[in-house]
A and B are shown apart, each in its own frame.
Chain A
Amino acid sequence: MNTNLQALSGGFAQPVLNAQAVFRLLMDGMSRPGTIQTTAVETGQPAPLGQAAAAVALTLCDADTPVWLQSSLAKSAVGEWIAFHTGAAMVQEKAEAKFAFLQASAGVCSFDLFASGTQEYPDRSATVVIEVSAFGEGRSFTLAGPGIRDQSKVSIAGLPAMFDEIWRNNRTLFPRGVDVILTAGASLLCLPRTTKIA
């Protein structure tokens, strides 16, 4: 009962304008990888989903986008909350998911089983949303690639060391591959598949 009430609460107060505002953060973030975008939109999401991750779900997910949740999120009310507010189906198979939500604190799995698109249709790939502990502290990353003038530096706390290798493997698939949105509370940072991490 308690779980259901959590699932039914929250959501965008103004679905049209809030979704537009969050999408512009995502568009700016995706076209300028490594820039930190912060949302002011309230989502009323259940724990442990972060505010920015919840805003991404409300903005981009619907009945056309199956969602995969890491087990730490799947056992909470998050799945029901996303399903109720967006109409998205929760799936067990990573390969079926258009969006995946992970928590770096519970470990980041390899991206191998997520849809990476086909060589003809590389857009048919998953977008992976990973909650980290914070931006602006922790390990420093140097990013390069389309959308970045020369290089950009960003510090991310809570991203496991093995992410570097996961990302390198993802990069070798280009133009296939998954795109990543890192979230920390109300902030987000995008890593499209073109971004090189040095």
Chain B
Amino acid sequence: MSLEVPFDGGLAEYNFAYLDEQTKRMIRRAILKAIAIPGYQVPFASREMPMPYGWGTGGVQVTASILGPDDVLKVIDQGADDTTNAVSIRAFFQKVANVAVTTHTKDATIIQTRHRIPEQTLSEGQVLVYQVPIPEPLRFLEPRETETRKMHALEEYGLMHVKLYEDIAHNGRISKTYAYPVKVAGRYVMDPSPTPKFDNPKMHMSDALQLFGAGREKRIYAIPPHTEVVSLDFDDHPFEIQRFDKPCALCGAENVYLDEVILDDKGGRMFVCSDTDHCEERREQGHAGELLARQEAAE
């Protein structure tokens, strides 16, 4: 995949990383407070960005405020480096910050993500920036911000447990599969953004700093490295992640998050790694899944 962005020379010069310095300072102060109060949503004066809400305006503002000329940026959308959102945000930062980009998880210093955590374990010094649509985990239980603020202030999370309990009463299990609520450092209940609950355990005691930006809702929150992140559950209904029956059809990886891909109109389908970089790396190492092996045999 080509990562080159053509330079047309006709553009007016932006400030480094697009945002003006006053905005960056405001966001930087919010980020520091967010790190100091893990899981707490810090309000910030979100700016209009040259992309619509829902395309990662919060994540982009966080990335723009922390990004430096020495950083290497990776952007993923549902695990993939080559989908529209990832490609356009990566190109955006190449244009406005002239920053080095990569698709390799291990080479990146900043990874902006939409709804996945890379399969490869993140290391010390890496920063994971999440794009968050609705940061308030209690929002669908209590629509009023004044009330949810109070609930967080009083550490009153009974309503969330009732919701999870009702899930069990109706469905026999907790049916929430993404944006599964977590408790951070034993205090704040937090929405991990709509990542599949498969990724929740990766947030716990991670070596990397995790920052969350919600542009439309104007909130920034954070999980420092080595911080306890516990998915809410009950003693008799412990938290469980998704399991897949088959390994990845292309690289044969097990214990990774898989996407279903429809192959034809006769019901043909395959399950492949949602993390494209992880899948490509494994195939380069010679691992082959069921479909790849069959194709090679046919050739």
Contacts and interface: CB of A to CB of B under 8 A. Distances in A.
Interface of A: 15-17, 19-21, 23-24, 26-28, 30-32, 59-62, 64-65, 98, 118-123, 125, 127, 146-149, 174-175, 179, 192-194
A26 B35 CA distance: 11
> Which 4 pairs, one residue from A and one from B, show the smallest C-beta to C-beta distance?
A192-B36, A147-B224, A119-B153, A123-B33
Interface in B1-55: 15-17, 21-22, 24-26, 28-38, 40, 42-43
Contacts of A64: 26
A61 B37 CA distance: 20
25 contacts: A20-B24, A21-B68, A23-B24, A23-B66, A27-B28, A27-B32, A32-B225, A60-B29, A62-B25, A64-B26, A119-B153, A120-B152, A122-B37, A123-B34, A125-B33, A127-B32, A146-B185, A146-B226, A149-B226, A175-B37, A179-B33, A192-B36, A192-B37, A194-B36, A194-B38
Nearest to B227: A146
Contacts of A31: 35, 209, 222, 224-225
Interface string B163-193: 0000000000000000000000101100000
B67 interface: yes
A125 to B, nearest CB: 8
B222 to A, nearest CB: 8
A148 B68 contact: no
Given A27-B32, A59-B25, A194 B37 contact: yes
Nearest to A147: B224
A193 B37 contact: yes
B28 A23 contact: yes
Nearest to A149: B226
B31 to A, nearest CB: 6
Contact of B36 (A24, A62, A120, A193): A193
A98 B150 CA distance: 23
A174 B187 CA distance: 10
B150 to A, nearest CB: 7
Contact of B66 (A24, A127, A175): A24
Interface class of chain B by DSSP: mixed
Contacts of A61: 25
Q: Which among A64, A65, A118, A175 has the highest number of chain B CB atoms within 10 Å? A: A175
A193 to B, nearest CB: 6
A30 B33 CA distance: 9
Contacts of B226: 146-149
Interface string B110-148: 000000000000000100000000000000000000000
B69 interface: yes
B185 A60 contact: no
B276 to A, nearest CB: 28
B237 interface: no
B161 interface: no
A14 to B, nearest CB: 10
Interface in B237-251: none
A159 B240 CA distance: 47
Interface in B80-121: none
Contacts of B38: 146, 194
Nearest to A178: B36
A65 B29 contact: yes
A136 to B, nearest CB: 21
B217 to A, nearest CB: 15
Contacts of A193: 36-37
A21 B68 CA distance: 7
Contacts of B32: 26-27, 30, 60, 127, 179
A120 B153 contact: yes
A98 B225 CA distance: 26
Q: Which among A119, A123, A174 has the highest number of chain B CB atoms within 10 Å? A: A123
Contacts of B15: 16
Nearest to B124: A32
Contacts of B294: none
Interface string B202-228: 000100010000000000001111111
B269 interface: no
Contacts of B153: 118-120
Contacts of A32: 224-225
A7 to B, nearest CB: 20
